[in-house]
Amino acid sequence: MAQIRALVVDDEKLARDRLAGFLAGLDGVLVIAQAGDGIEALQTIEQRHPDLVFLDVQMPGLNGFEVIEAVGVERMPATVFVTAYDRYALRAFEVHALDYLLKPFNRERFRQALERARARLSATSLPT
């Protein structure tokens, strides 16, 4: 599979930097952009077409679910929710999230989520 183009979305700069840092040293993944709120996330998804989005739930402008609704579930890139709130997990999977990282998470848990995303993206990019 080609390189995964990732978008990191979180209203907390520290959280964005941590995710981008986890991704930085990995082969086959390129962070194409970061967004600090839901509106910026929506614009970036529409303009840059990432393969994978690490998406916070609670943000200014639009929350993570409103971003997915605005893009459309069927058009939304593969999504891993990254949040401090476990109460949104069921809803996340209802909108076809690949994984749900509960803050604070460690590098191993992050790696598991990324491997799940790689597997899904590889499967969907196979010719039919």
| CA–CA separation, 88 and 102 (whole Å) | 10
Residue extents of the structural domains in the chain: 4-124
Range scoring the smallest mean pLDDT among 32-41, 79-88, 94-103, 116-125: 116-125
Average pLDDT over residues 68-92: 94
pLDDT bin (cut points 50, 70, 90) of residue 25 is confident
Average pLDDT over residues 57-77: 95
Report helix, strand or coil for 53.
strand
Average pLDDT over residues 105-128: 86
pLDDT bin (cut points 50, 70, 90) of residue 125 is low
Q: What is the pLDDT of residue 128?
A: 45
| CA–CA separation, 51 and 40 (whole Å) | 17
Length of the chain: 128
Unique residue bearing structure tokens 């995964």: 4
Handedness of CA 95, 120, 1, 54 (dihedral sign): positive
**pLDDT tops 60 at residue 126:** no
Q: Which CATH number fits domain 4-124: 3.40.50.2300, 3.20.20.220, 3.30.1330.10, 3.40.50.620?
A: 3.40.50.2300
Element (H, E) at 40: helix 38-48
Cβ atoms 86, 40 nearer than 8 A: no
Q: How many CB atoms lie within 10 A of CB 86?
A: 10
Average pLDDT over residues 86-109: 93
